[in-house]
Amino acid sequence: MFQKILIANRGEIALRVLRAAKELGIQTVVVHSTADADAMHVRLADESVCIGPPPSRDSYLNIHQIVAACEITGADAVHPGYGFLSENAKFADILAAHNITFIGPSGDHIRVMGDKIEAKRTAKRLGIPVVPGSDGAVSDEGEAKRIAAAIGYPVIIKASAGGGGRGMKVARSETDLVEALQTARSEAGAAFGDDAVYIEKYLEKPRHIEIQVFGDGAGKGIHLGERDCSLQRRHQKVWEEANSPALNEEQRTQIGGICSRAIADLGYSGAGTIEFLYENGEFYFIEMNTRLQVEHPVTEAITGIDLVHEQIRVASGGGLSVRQEDIRFHGHAIECRINAEDPKTFVPSPGTITHFHTPGGLGVRVDSGVYSGYRIPPYYDSLIGKLIVHGRNRVECMMRLRRALDEFVVDGINTTLPLFRELVGNPDIANGDYDIHWLEKHLAETQ
């Protein structure tokens, strides 16, 4: 097991990882920018190192500073959290070259999944169902037209270096296609320095369902069920739940089995998420994330498995603590992302939290790095906490969520809490009847 883990992140996820390390009896080091000197994870860590000024590129993305902080403190492993350097293959490689363990997959696995064309090719080879489309990059107009005609309009053009919704264009006709191909390629070239694009059938009203997987790096793979992340705005997830209201046990076992076998065949190590669009009873792979995700607590709630403990165990060579046949899915869990934003306009609302009171009681978890009197710096993303509620079934979970939202007090700044108080009473949400466009449509209608 590791002696000392350095946490290369901030906010609620830094605290989340710190807690797991402490529980395992591992010393903790945090790195932070000058803007985060007052953060909770800095106070709770055994050691902290200031690595630079507020802008992320000069601190949380500064690989050399982070490696230096490992050398100075004698950390033997780094947990990257999510965002920042968590999916940076070069970072994983550099740490390996310094004999520091990156708590995550190999640089090569990160690299493959970071290239969306390569990721899709790999998924297909491993028997994962993919969206019909081009076999690889498409640059030629005639080839694009032939593929689109074969799969049928509408189609979507995606940047291979994109992901997470960046660099996509929908084409509903051949006329659209010619323009979309040109714009997509030049935008991808400008944004990512790689103008490779590919074509897929455009799915009109899918749900976003992702499968949590784990590999032990030695040929074992497991899945921990799915999360439904369809409720999103501008590619930012807002509400996530497990299980998906759209799936039954048989579908879960089937897609989960496909994913765990793929992870085993890949020789993948650590936590991963295989993302699908789900429409008319079919799954279509879109991307794989090679990190822990923001919404991992809903999976923890229904499985009782600590995903960060598992990440640390696997990375240290201790293997997974659970076998597939030991994993059960209990009840239902929902996570609400509480952002420091205006609940109508979503304009960020940094500033001082004058009063912070979190809900509690059975089945209620709050992951947050903020406290009463804390000043939210304006430099980073606006997530200030996550409310995760668990119940024996979805109805109980929703009742408990309504109660927990009523207890939550955040004064001094705007937050998205009022949005959740409204959503929890919405009939479509109560029925689990929503797709990836539902929230944006709802917000447009209720403006």
Q: Distance between CA atoms of 136 and 139, rounded to whole angstroms?
A: 10
Catalytic hit among 291, 313, 337, 394 = 291
Strand partners, 33: 52
Q: Residue 195, interface with ligand MV4 (CB under 6 A)?
A: no
DSSP letters spanning 77-129: EEE--SSTTTT-HHHHHHHHHTT-EESSS-HHHHHHHHSHHHHHHHHHHTT--
Please answer whether residues 390 and 329 qualify as being in contact, where contact means their C-beta atoms are separated by less than 8 angstroms: no
Where do the H-state alpha helices sit in 233-350? Answer: 249-266, 296-303, 307-315
CB nearer to ligand MV4: give 172 or 357.
172
Please answer whether residues 163 and 287 qualify as being in contact, where contact means their C-beta atoms are separated by less than 8 angstroms: yes
Q: Residue 302, interface with ligand MV4 (CB under 6 A)?
A: no
Q: Which stretch binds ligand MV4 (CB under 6 A): 5-13, 36-44, 197-205, 291-299?
A: 197-205
Contact positions with ligand MV4 (CB under 6 A) in 103-142: 131
CB nearer to ligand MV4: give 60 or 285.
285
Q: Can you tell me which residue has the tokens 């917000």?
A: 443
Q: Distance between CA atoms of 303 and 223, rounded to whole angstroms?
A: 11
Q: Residue 144, interface with ligand MV4 (CB under 6 A)?
A: no
Q: Which stretch binds ligand MV4 (CB under 6 A): 158-166, 246-254, 263-271, 380-388?
A: 158-166
Query: What phi-psi label fits residue 4: left (phi over 0), alpha (psi between -120 and 50 degrees) or beta?
Result: beta
Please answer whether residues 149 and 201 qualify as being in contact, where contact means their C-beta atoms are separated by less than 8 angstroms: no
Q: In 10 A of CB 176, how many CB atoms?
A: 17
Out of 36, 87, 195, 200, which residue is the one contacting ligand MV4 (CB under 6 A)? 200
CA distances from 352 to 12, 168, 333, 357, 410 (A): 17, 37, 30, 14, 10
Q: Residue 287, interface with ligand MV4 (CB under 6 A)?
A: yes
CB nearer to ligand MV4: give 130 or 322.
130
Strand partners, 215: 221, 270
How is the chain split among helix, strand and coil, in percent rounded to 5?
35, 30, 35
From first CA to last CA, the distance across the chain in angstroms is: 53
Out of 202, 285, 356, 380, which residue is the one contacting ligand MV4 (CB under 6 A)? 202
Contact positions with ligand MV4 (CB under 6 A) in 25-84: none
Q: Distance between CA atoms of 436 and 205, rounded to whole angstroms?
A: 7
Secondary structure, 3-state, 341-399: ECCCCCCECCEECCEEECCCCCCEEEEECCCCCCEECCCCCCEEEEEEEEECCHHHHHH
Q: Residue 286, interface with ligand MV4 (CB under 6 A)?
A: yes
Q: Which stretch binds ligand MV4 (CB under 6 A): 67-75, 93-101, 157-165, 177-185?
A: 157-165
CB nearer to ligand MV4: give 208 or 332.
208
Q: Which stretch binds ligand MV4 (CB under 6 A): 90-98, 159-167, 256-264, 343-351?
A: 159-167
Q: Residue 203, interface with ligand MV4 (CB under 6 A)?
A: yes
Whether 261 is catalytic is no
Quote the least distance from Cβ 165 to ligand MV4, whole Å: 4
Contact positions with ligand MV4 (CB under 6 A) in 427-446: 436
CB nearer to ligand MV4: give 10 or 116.
116
CB nearer to ligand MV4: give 90 or 235.
235
Q: At a CB cut-off of 8 Å and minimum separation 6, what does 28 contact? A: 4, 5, 6, 7, 18, 21, 22, 44, 45, 46, 47
Q: Distance between CA atoms of 311 and 317, rounded to whole angstroms?
A: 10
Q: Residue 208, interface with ligand MV4 (CB under 6 A)?
A: yes
Q: Residue 405, interface with ligand MV4 (CB under 6 A)?
A: no
CB nearer to ligand MV4: give 35 or 168.
168
Q: Which stretch binds ligand MV4 (CB under 6 A): 16-24, 40-48, 162-170, 329-337?
A: 162-170
Contact positions with ligand MV4 (CB under 6 A) in 231-260: 232, 235
Q: Which stretch binds ligand MV4 (CB under 6 A): 64-72, 173-181, 198-206, 344-352?
A: 198-206
Return the H-helix or E-strand segment holding 220: none
Quote the least distance from Cβ 182 to ligand MV4, whole Å: 20
Quote the least distance from Cβ 112 to ligand MV4, whole Å: 16
Quote the least distance from Cβ 244 to ligand MV4, whole Å: 13
CB nearer to ligand MV4: give 165 or 360.
165
Binding site for ligand MV4 (CB under 6 A): 131, 156, 163-165, 200-203, 208, 232, 235, 277, 286-287, 436
Which residues have a catalytic role annotated?
291
